[in-house]
């Protein structure tokens, strides 16, 4: 396809502009020519639209040629390909202009239809090449950032396996050794404590491995998430039942207010998000507090909130909450241990559901996590 070449001519001399115009007409080059009688007008037009080539007169009365050339070459000036035109045959000036970024330097006495067309075609080809090169560079940078993200995730996973998971198994090994000694001594009370400790440590290790593998699987899976209609109250009730034992031990009340609301989502992903958020809320809520799961309609969206009356977080902690390199494992109000990993899983799962996990918190007054899902209100009756 023979596309037209877009040319901007910046020259204060009307006779010279006519000369260039006629040379282009005789060259056979398919083109659209825009003329500017001074530097200010030329720069304005260069910023308004993209040109394949700018023909710039070396001596303009209102602007320095080197300064205008610098602007025309810059992104703010359009990043144009510039050919210099001059009535002077000065090789030193020509070299300076070429070093400053001009693609060519033509004296007006040497301008012929063929030489002008050849120089413009070269400028156009050079501009297209540079644009492709810039696109390739951007793509390479994008891939480099993605590789950096994957490397950080790999380091993150290995740190969890090497530290957090190993700690859980060290506890299991220590408790099992103590249990064996208690069995030999027929110490029933010690056996009972040891068995309960092993069960608790095994539960924590299993929960960590489940979150770890779910998150790793999510990072490697590029398939589209399949969504369906979900009864929000049903799935929140199941979540509350799973957290009931830990909440009862701390006399924490679990409240659900999602009656009559359906959402559009992935059931297993939503269940994992709610389970991690509720367990996290129970962990950081002192005895006698409350954890609530509520939902409300906002136009055609449903805002789901998991809130607690716990210890809360300072602003700097909130700003780094979802940063991989800022992961912090914090002990719960009853000494509960964690990997600081569940919230990363929640964030990524919520994003897979087409939403964003947000948080608000006040120290000693509690924390609330929220995200939006598509949903409808089921009318009673």
Please say whether the dihedral angle defined by the alpha carbons of residues 55, 61, 66 and 69, taken in this order, is positive or negative.
Answer: negative
pLDDT at residue 254 greater than cutoff 80: yes
pLDDT at residue 2 greater than cutoff 60: no
Q: Yes or no: say if 333 and 285 are a contact pair by the CB < 8 Å rule.
A: yes
> In the structure, what pLDDT confidence band is assigned to residue 286 with cuts at 50, 70 and 90?
very high
Structure tokens at 309: 């009356």
CA distances from 89 to 85, 182, 335 (A): 10, 102, 84
* Strand pairing category for 228-231 and 253-257: unpaired
Residue 94 has a pLDDT of 84
Residue 380 has a pLDDT of 38
Which of 62-76, 136-150, 196-210, 222-236 holds the top average pLDDT? 62-76
Residue 171 has a pLDDT of 66
What pLDDT digit, counting tens, does each position of 4-23 carry?
Answer: 889 999 999 999 999 999 99
> In the structure, what pLDDT confidence band is assigned to residue 379 with cuts at 50, 70 and 90?
very low
Q: Higher model confidence: residue 337 or residue 55?
A: 55
Residue 128 has a pLDDT of 80
Q: Poorest-confidence range of 107-116, 210-219, 266-275?
A: 210-219
Mean pLDDT, residues 163-176:
66
pLDDT at residue 293 greater than cutoff 90: yes
Residue 130 has a pLDDT of 76
What pLDDT digit, counting tens, does each position of 30-65 carry?
Answer: 999 999 999 999 999 999 988 989 999 988 989 998
Domains of the chain, CATH where assigned: 5-111 (3.40.50.2300), 145-222 (1.10.287), 223-381 (3.30.565.10)
pLDDT at residue 358 greater than cutoff 90: yes
What pLDDT digit, counting tens, does each position of 295-306 carry?
Answer: 998 888 999 999
Residue 36 has a pLDDT of 93
Average pLDDT, the chain: 81
DSSP string, 207-244: HHHHHHHHHHHHHH--SPPP-EEEEHHHHHHHHHHHHH
Residue 299 has a pLDDT of 81
pLDDT at residue 266 greater than cutoff 80: yes
* Strand pairing category for 358-362 and 366-377: antiparallel
Q: Poorest-confidence range of 103-107, 205-209, 288-292?
A: 205-209
What pLDDT digit, counting tens, does each position of 131-167 carry?
Answer: 788 888 888 888 888 777 767 666 666 655 655 566 5
Mean pLDDT, residues 249-273:
88
pLDDT at residue 285 greater than cutoff 80: yes
Q: Yes or no: say if 74 and 148 are a contact pair by the CB < 8 Å rule.
A: no
84: buried, middle or exposed (CB in 10 Å: 19+, 13-18, 0-12)? buried
Q: Higher model confidence: residue 381 or residue 238?
A: 238
> Angle 65-73/91-99 helices, nearest 10 degrees?
30
pLDDT at residue 328 greater than cutoff 60: no
Q: Yes or no: say if 12 and 61 are a contact pair by the CB < 8 Å rule.
A: yes
What pLDDT digit, counting tens, does each position of 58-113 carry?
Answer: 889 899 989 999 999 888 888 888 898 887 777 888 888 888 888 888 888 888 89
Among candidates 78, 85, 75, 134, which has minimal Cα distance to 107? 85
């Amino acid at each position: 396809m023979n596309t037209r070449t877009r040319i901007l001519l910046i020259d204060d001399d009307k006779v010279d502009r006519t000369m260039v115009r006629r040379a282009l007409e005789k060259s056979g080059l398919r083109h659209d020519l825009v003329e500017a009688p001074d530097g200010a007008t030329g720069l304005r037009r260069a910023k308004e639209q993209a040109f394949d080539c700018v023909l710039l007169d070396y001596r303009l009365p209102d602007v320095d040629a080197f300064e205008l050339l610098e602007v025309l070459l810059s992104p703010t000036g359009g990043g144009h390909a510039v050919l210099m035109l001059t009535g002077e045959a000065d090789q030193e000036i020509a070299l300076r202009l070429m070093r400053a970024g001009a693609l060519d330097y033509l004296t007006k006495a040497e301008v012929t239809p063929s030489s002008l067309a050849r120089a413009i075609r070269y400028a156009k080809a050079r501009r297209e090449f540079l644009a492709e090169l810039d696109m390739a560079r951007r793509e390479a940078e994008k891939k480099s950032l993605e590789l950096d993200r994957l490397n950080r995730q790999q380091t993150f996973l290995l740190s969890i396996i090497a530290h957090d998971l190993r700690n859980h198994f060290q506890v299991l090994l220590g408790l099992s050794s103590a249990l064996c000694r208690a069995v030999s001594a027929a110490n029933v009370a010690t056996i009972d404590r040891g068995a309960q400790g092993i069960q608790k440590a095994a539960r924590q290790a299993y929960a960590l491995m489940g979150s770890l593998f779910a998150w790793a699987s999510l990072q490697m899976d590029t398939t589209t998430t399949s969504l369906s209609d979900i009864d929000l109250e049903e799935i929140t009730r199941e979540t509350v039942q799973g957290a009931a034992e830990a909440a009862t031990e701390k006399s924490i009340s679990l409240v659900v207010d999602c009656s009559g609301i359906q959402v559009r989502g992935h059931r297993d992903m939503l269940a994992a998000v709610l389970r991690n958020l509720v367990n996290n809320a129970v962990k950081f809520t002192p005895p006698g507090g409350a954890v609530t799961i509520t939902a409300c309609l906002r136009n055609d969206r449903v805002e789901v909130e998991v809130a607690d009356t716990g210890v809360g977080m300072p602003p700097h902690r909130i700003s780094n909450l979802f940063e991989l390199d800022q992961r912090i494992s914090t002990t719960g109000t009853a000494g509960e241990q964690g990997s600081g990993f569940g919230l990363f899983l929640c964030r990524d799962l919520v994003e897979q559901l087409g939403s964003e996990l947000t948080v608000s918190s006040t120290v000693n007054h509690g924390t609330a996590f929220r995200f939006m899902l598509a949903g409808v209100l089921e009318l009673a009756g």
